[in-house]
Chains A and B, each alone.
Chain A
Amino acid sequence: MSVSLVLIIIMGILFAAGVYAMLERSLTRVLIGFLLLGNAANLFLLVVMGQPGEAPFFGVGSPDEMSDPLPQALTLTAIVITFAVSAFLLALIYRSWQLGQADTVHDDEEDVALRERVPSGEDAMNDETSIEDQDDEVTTDFVGTATAPITVLQHRDIAGIRDDAPTDRPTDGGATGGGEQR
């Protein structure tokens, strides 16, 4: 399938121009680059279409004389999507200007901060892996909660009807011994 050298040259140059602009920090230039890249990509589809022919309408001529309709369908969607995305980019530019009076993309501060932190140490990142913790040595499930023991209802508890009501520990421990069999 023979293709047009002229079209390929235009395409290559538009690609190059688009890439050059997209590597800028200015969002407007990125948008210009994006539009150029979009045109270049459509041109690529046009190149792939091959030899230009009649418009692809049924009954106009034989399919051999028609342009290839498939790249055309692809290009049509691409054109409209390019418009939608460039509208989105424009909204981004507007918002960026509204917030910072600039349409320049600065380096992400978090990433830069992370990069600078590496040599200084990792103390902040292993908060979940350090083995020293005051809780490690506890010997009960009931840390930080005042849990009263569960007891059977006894004569001194008559005031409290619910058996799960918190009670003070009895001081006369031996006296209640053996009471659990009831």
Chain B
Amino acid sequence: MLVLLAAFALTPLTLPWLTNRIGPRAFFLAALVPLAGFVHAGLLTPVVLAGETVTETFSWIPQLGLSLSMRIDTLSWVMTLIVTGVGALVMIYCRWYFDGKTSGVGMFSATLLAFAGAMYGLVLTDDLILLVMFWEITSILSYLLIGYYHARGASRRAALQALLVTTLGGLVMFVGAVILVVQAGTNSISGILAEYADTASGLAASPLIDTAIVLLLVGALSKSAIFPFHFWLPGAMAAPTPVSAYLHAAAMVKAGIYLIARVAPFFAVAAPWRPIVLSLGIFTMLLGGLQALRESDLKRILAFGTVSQLGLLTAVIGYGERNTALAGLALLIGHALFKSALFLVVGVIDRQLSTRDIGELSGVGRQAPTLAVASALAVASMIGIIPMVGFVAKEAALTSLLEAAEEPWALVALIGIVLGSVLTTAYGLRFFWGAFATKKDASGARKPATAWPDPPMGFLAAPIVLAVLSLIAGFAAPWLDTALRGYADTAPEVGDPYHLALWHGLEPALFLSLGCIAVGAVLFGFAVRTGKTPRRLLTFTAADVYNLTLRGIARLAVWTTSLTQRGSLPVYVGTIFVVFVASQATALLASPDWKIELDAWQTPIQVVVAPIMILAGIVAVRARKRYTGVVLVSVTGLGMVVLFATSGAPDLALTQVLVETVTLVTFTLVLRRIPARLGEHNASVWPVARAVLAVAVGATMAIVAMVATGARIEDPISDAFPDLAYELGHGKNVVNVALVDLRGWDTMGELSVLILAATGVASLVFVTHRSDLLSSAISSLPTAAVRTRRPLVETEEGPRPRASAPGSTRQAWLVGGQRMRPENRSIMLEVIVRILFHTIIVVSIFLLFSGHNLPGGGFAGGLVAGMALVMRYVAGGRYELGAAAPTDAGRLLGAGMTLAIACALVPLLFGEAPLTSHFWEADLPILGHVEFVTSTLFDIGVYLVVIGLVLDVLRSLGGEVDRQLQALREAQSARTAGGIS
């Protein structure tokens, strides 16, 4: 069974490709899979008849108790035979139905096969949660199948409608399933049912369990198109007819019936069960039957007929006694056979004549006798005419309900079924008459026969096989009785056990049955004679309610969107802060016993720095010029440096001062392009409200800081850090070891943020590409040319070393220097940069490696190296930057991140936790005592990423902005020149 399930899952993947190669013949191959399932189930027949249950289990997610447990008992065996048998026939039928079509058929065949697989799993699994999963898979695949004609609005709407209704039901059912699983403590359906039957267990009838059962029922009823969910099924007739034959006659709608059949023998005694199942089932039967009499589209007649029959099945199977269970299962088999056959017949008519309107068809029966005979058999089975299987089943249903008729609900069911059978006869005859009879027009003259092109035999095979099976099954009633007994006996027995048979003698049920047929025939004759159709049963349609609901939801969505999506950045940011203040203030006020320990200050320097930082912060906000604002922000940053330095945090001070510098440089790079003054039009409204909110946030944070620090009762975890750092990380700088080892995952996350930000900067500035023009422009030069250290000049082919002027051997301090415009050059700067650059790089590397034991580390080292690049760029322009960093920033970022990830992953290969570090030491000649910790490699990754970030910022906001400025200038001068000439 599991192997077959896997085949069902994998084969669809190959079908689109196969269909492209061999056309609709691929359906034959697709049919092989359900056929294999059919044969497999068929081979198990002796085992199932012996009353044994075959199980296969594959543990899937043991932590959740989820396992792919499959089992075949009588009910599953019957369902499997139906699902796979009809499935295989429909696939074969599709080969002709889709003949000549190419677009979308591959996807269609794949979806149909996958659907068959989901149904196969659904009827076989013993895991309730897995059943819900298969359930949802069938809903989604049916959406794709119904929406096959996706170019049609009606088709799309019908598909969406079916999806929404069935998934809503599935969701409700899932809640019920979870309640049952939790209460029973097992996923197994058989386990849950057994526990429910055992009244001593925790699953005995209680309001909670009753609720769960009702929720489960909602799922089953919505899937099986029982009122008030019935409307999706007629809508789903927008699907191709083979889909209707399979999904809406044999498979998907039967899923709900299957679930009811599975649980009814046990749950039928629950208080809400019979009222719901019987009232809705009977009502649906009558509603569908009446509506079927009004339709003129053959397929819609069948659709409402199916709704009606599903109501009948729900009522009979849901009654939950031994005899009704037997009758219900026989009805289910009968319905699957005759309804699929009829749908397929309609498909043949539609395919041949491109219509299925009974007003347009006339005299088809005479021209297509085989088809007509097959349909006659199927219709006879539907109406319940001896010797069809439908007769046997209906006989059983009527008898079993007659016997139980002291029960009020059984009486209701009996009366409903009798009335429903009358309607069934009427619409069954109407269908046959509509499809095959020679009709008369209004004046009484015969309509001309519709021309009938003969279809090939293969096209007709599937409906004929199904119709003939209806006949054979009728004769095989005694054998069916023994076969189905295995299921029926699970239900409680009331009265004598009934046996399925073709002839029970002149019983009350027989006369009821005959009466129904006679009244139905009269009703049909009357309707044809007068041309009248019965009135609607309800003044509104459920579809209208559905549409109103959808429209209401859409309106609500627009209303909510317009309410919450104000489209204004200040409003969004303000909302965040308001929520922050409100939530924190609530939390603070809710626990009023604050313990606050305050010193006025801790070090005198704090008092010195405080007024400077406060003033700078306030003025920065009110600054009218951009540069003023940013410089003042830098002042607060430098205040932070002082505070860090005096609080025993040298690493922080070092990093902060470097970052302040780089930030300032970056800002200056951008400021070249935008005006210095912040325009008045930039001012936002409501300064007072903003000030109030700002003060509220500040005050809240201050209180939070005081309360949070006062509330600390445990020793901080970091008390152990110094020892850990030395013993595990082999480093004396605790902060650095914390970054690269103890809390390495934090750093890993941070590196990702840095890479994202760098990529974001580059893509915002470069917009269309991210190739490294700078370094490639330089590196394409012959090395010797660069070695000469002659200044580069711009030529048609890009930068080239300046041809040496005669008599001049002067070399430049920086090769890119002469690319700058003369007024921007500073020879002092060039000299200093030339002298200092390599020194700074060495310092940065020293910081990187010494960081393990002394202040420094990858961040500080990377920033220092970045500063060196900044110097080269500022002094020499973008080509100088290209010469300084002859590689793509993206490569640096990638290499750094790869190194860091490797540090995380490699220990895994040795069965250790990620980011575990190792330590080697050795006494080498010359170098002396050398220690090496693998976390240094991680730090090198950090170093590379930080350099990459700075380089990316310089390349984008520096070099690329230069290029764009230059291009702009050239364009302008060209325009001016053009204007003059």
Question: Chain A: residues with CB nearer than 8 A to chain B?
Answer: 1-26, 28-33, 35-36, 39-40, 42-44, 46-59, 63, 66-70, 72-77, 79-88, 90-95, 97-98, 103-105, 107-112, 114-115, 117-118, 122, 125-126, 128-131, 133, 135-136, 138-145, 147-152, 154, 163-164, 166-167, 169-174, 176-182
For B669, the closest partner residue in chain A by CB is A90
* Docked complex Cα distance between A122 and B184 (Å): 48
Question: A22-B573, A69-B718 are contacts. A104–B709 as well, Cβ < 8 Å?
Answer: no
Q: Is B946 an interface residue (CB 8 A)?
A: yes
* Docked complex Cα distance between A43 and B656 (Å): 12
Within 8 A of A (CB), among B339-394: 347, 350-357, 360, 366-371
For A75, the closest partner residue in chain B by CB is B652
Which of B568, B601, B721 sits near A6, CB closer than 8 Å? B601
Interface contact B567-A44, CB-CB below 8 Å: no
Q: Is B460 an interface residue (CB 8 A)?
A: yes
Interface contact B350-A142, CB-CB below 8 Å: yes
Interface of A is mostly: helix
Interface contact B551-A126, CB-CB below 8 Å: yes
Query: Which residues of chain B have C-beta atoms less than 8 A from A20's C-beta?
Result: 621, 690-691, 693-694
Q: B947 to chain A: closest CB distance in Å?
A: 12
Interface contact A48-B460, CB-CB below 8 Å: no
* Docked complex Cα distance between A182 and B370 (Å): 11
Interface contact A10-B613, CB-CB below 8 Å: yes
Interface contact A72-B651, CB-CB below 8 Å: yes
Interface contact B722-A63, CB-CB below 8 Å: yes
Q: B511 to chain A: closest CB distance in Å?
A: 39
Query: Which residues of chain B have C-beta atoms less than 8 A from A72's C-beta?
Result: 649, 651-652, 735, 738
Which of A5, A59, A139, A152 sits near B357, CB closer than 8 Å? A139
Query: Which residues of chain A have C-beta atoms less than 8 A from B99's C-beta?
Result: 150, 164
* Docked complex Cα distance between A18 and B151 (Å): 54
Q: Mark B614-632, 1 if CB is under 8 A from A, else 0.
A: 1001101101001001100
Q: Mark B738-770, 1 if CB is under 8 A from A, else 0.
A: 110001001100100110011011001101000
Interface contact B722-A6, CB-CB below 8 Å: no
Q: Is B185 an interface residue (CB 8 A)?
A: no
Given contacts A12-B699, A80-B859, A149-B354, 16 further A-B contacts (CB under 8 A): A6-B600, A7-B602, A30-B569, A31-B630, A40-B701, A69-B722, A79-B656, A80-B659, A90-B761, A111-B565, A126-B551, A133-B154, A141-B351, A176-B452, A177-B366, A177-B368
Interface contact B453-A169, CB-CB below 8 Å: yes
* Docked complex Cα distance between A36 and B623 (Å): 14
Closest 3 CB pairs of A and B: A111-B567, A173-B451, A16-B698
Question: A19-B697, A23-B690, A104-B681 are contacts. A29–B629 as well, Cβ < 8 Å?
Answer: yes
Q: Is B733 an interface residue (CB 8 A)?
A: yes
* Docked complex Cα distance between A92 and B757 (Å): 11
Q: Mark B712-730, 1 if CB is under 8 A from A, else 0.
A: 1000111101110110000
Which of B570, B712, B946 sits near A80, CB closer than 8 Å? B946
Within 8 A of A (CB), among B619-651: 620-621, 623, 626, 629-630, 633, 636-637, 639-640, 643-644, 646-651
Query: Which residues of chain A have C-beta atoms less than 8 A from B152's C-beta?
Result: 135, 143-144
Instruction: Give the interface residue-count category, chain B.
Output: 35 or more
Q: Is B405 an interface residue (CB 8 A)?
A: no
Query: Which residues of chain B have C-beta atoms less than 8 A from A63's C-beta?
Result: 719, 721-723
Interface contact A1-B565, CB-CB below 8 Å: no
Q: B512 to chain A: closest CB distance in Å?
A: 35
Stretch of B155-163, B188-196, B771-779 that contacts chain A: B155-163
For A44, the closest partner residue in chain B by CB is B705
For A48, the closest partner residue in chain B by CB is B709
Interface contact A70-B647, CB-CB below 8 Å: no
Interface contact B613-A152, CB-CB below 8 Å: no
Q: B870 to chain A: closest CB distance in Å?
A: 13
Question: A23-B684, A42-B640, A122-B558 are contacts. A2–B601 as well, Cβ < 8 Å?
Answer: no
Q: Is B407 an interface residue (CB 8 A)?
A: no
* Docked complex Cα distance between A106 and B842 (Å): 47
For A45, the closest partner residue in chain B by CB is B652
Q: B768 to chain A: closest CB distance in Å?
A: 13
Interface contact B761-A88, CB-CB below 8 Å: yes
* Docked complex Cα distance between A44 and B667 (Å): 25
Query: Which residues of chain B have C-beta atoms less than 8 A from A83's C-beta?
Result: 659, 662-663, 949
Interface contact A25-B684, CB-CB below 8 Å: yes
Interface contact B718-A70, CB-CB below 8 Å: yes
Stretch of B27-35, B308-316, B425-433, B953-961 that contacts chain A: B953-961
For B563, the closest partner residue in chain A by CB is A115
Interface contact B451-A171, CB-CB below 8 Å: yes
Query: Which residues of chain B have C-beta atoms less than 8 A from A141's C-beta?
Result: 149, 240-241, 347, 350-351
Q: B220 to chain A: closest CB distance in Å?
A: 27
Q: Is B49 an interface residue (CB 8 A)?
A: no
Interface contact A23-B739, CB-CB below 8 Å: no
Interface contact B547-A131, CB-CB below 8 Å: yes
Interface contact B351-A147, CB-CB below 8 Å: yes
* Docked complex Cα distance between A129 and B674 (Å): 50
Which of B155, B456, B550 has its CB near the most chain A CB atoms (within 10 A)? B456
Q: Is B610 an interface residue (CB 8 A)?
A: yes
Q: Mark B83-104, 1 if CB is under 8 A from A, else 0.
A: 0000000000000100111000
* Docked complex Cα distance between A35 and B958 (Å): 21
Q: B295 to chain A: closest CB distance in Å?
A: 10
Q: B36 to chain A: closest CB distance in Å?
A: 28
* Docked complex Cα distance between A38 and B351 (Å): 71
Which of B453, B543, B678 has its CB near the most chain A CB atoms (within 10 A)? B453
Query: Which residues of chain B have C-beta atoms less than 8 A from A182's C-beta?
Result: 457
* Docked complex Cα distance between A128 and B460 (Å): 37
Q: Is B582 an interface residue (CB 8 A)?
A: no
Query: Which residues of chain A have C-beta atoms less than 8 A from B733's C-beta?
Result: 56-57
Interface contact B370-A181, CB-CB below 8 Å: yes
Q: Is B17 an interface residue (CB 8 A)?
A: no
Query: Which residues of chain B have C-beta atoms less than 8 A from A36's C-beta?
Result: 617, 620-621, 633, 636
Which of A17, A69, A74, A82 sits near B617, CB closer than 8 Å? A17
Q: Is B787 an interface residue (CB 8 A)?
A: no
Which of B454, B617, B648 sits near A56, CB closer than 8 Å? B648
Interface contact A11-B701, CB-CB below 8 Å: yes
Interface contact B694-A39, CB-CB below 8 Å: no
Which of A15, A85, A109, A131 has its CB near the most chain B CB atoms (within 10 A)? A15
Interface contact B718-A79, CB-CB below 8 Å: no
Interface contact B567-A95, CB-CB below 8 Å: no
Interface contact A150-B682, CB-CB below 8 Å: no
Q: Is B695 an interface residue (CB 8 A)?
A: yes
Question: A36-B620, A70-B721, A171-B451 are contacts. A95–B765 as well, Cβ < 8 Å?
Answer: yes
* Docked complex Cα distance between A15 and B64 (Å): 46
* Docked complex Cα distance between A52 and B701 (Å): 21
Q: B915 to chain A: closest CB distance in Å?
A: 14
For A78, the closest partner residue in chain B by CB is B750
Query: Which residues of chain A have C-beta atoms less than 8 A from B561's C-beta?
Result: 111, 114
Q: A133 to chain B: closest CB distance in Å?
A: 5
* Docked complex Cα distance between A150 and B582 (Å): 72
Which of A10, A58, A115 sits near B610, CB closer than 8 Å? A10
* Docked complex Cα distance between A27 and B603 (Å): 37
Within 8 A of A (CB), among B212-250: 238, 240-241
* Docked complex Cα distance between A153 and B247 (Å): 32
For B682, the closest partner residue in chain A by CB is A26
Interface contact B617-A90, CB-CB below 8 Å: no
Interface contact A24-B369, CB-CB below 8 Å: no
Interface contact A25-B570, CB-CB below 8 Å: yes
Interface contact B601-A150, CB-CB below 8 Å: no
Which of B153, B610, B647 has its CB near the most chain A CB atoms (within 10 A)? B647
Query: Which residues of chain A have C-beta atoms less than 8 A from B453's C-beta?
Result: 149-151, 167, 169-170, 176
Interface contact B757-A85, CB-CB below 8 Å: yes
Interface contact A6-B610, CB-CB below 8 Å: yes
Q: B649 to chain A: closest CB distance in Å?
A: 5
Which of A5, A33, A94, A148 sits near B621, CB closer than 8 Å? A33
Question: A16-B697, A163-B456 are contacts. A80–B643 as well, Cβ < 8 Å?
Answer: no
Interface contact B765-A56, CB-CB below 8 Å: no
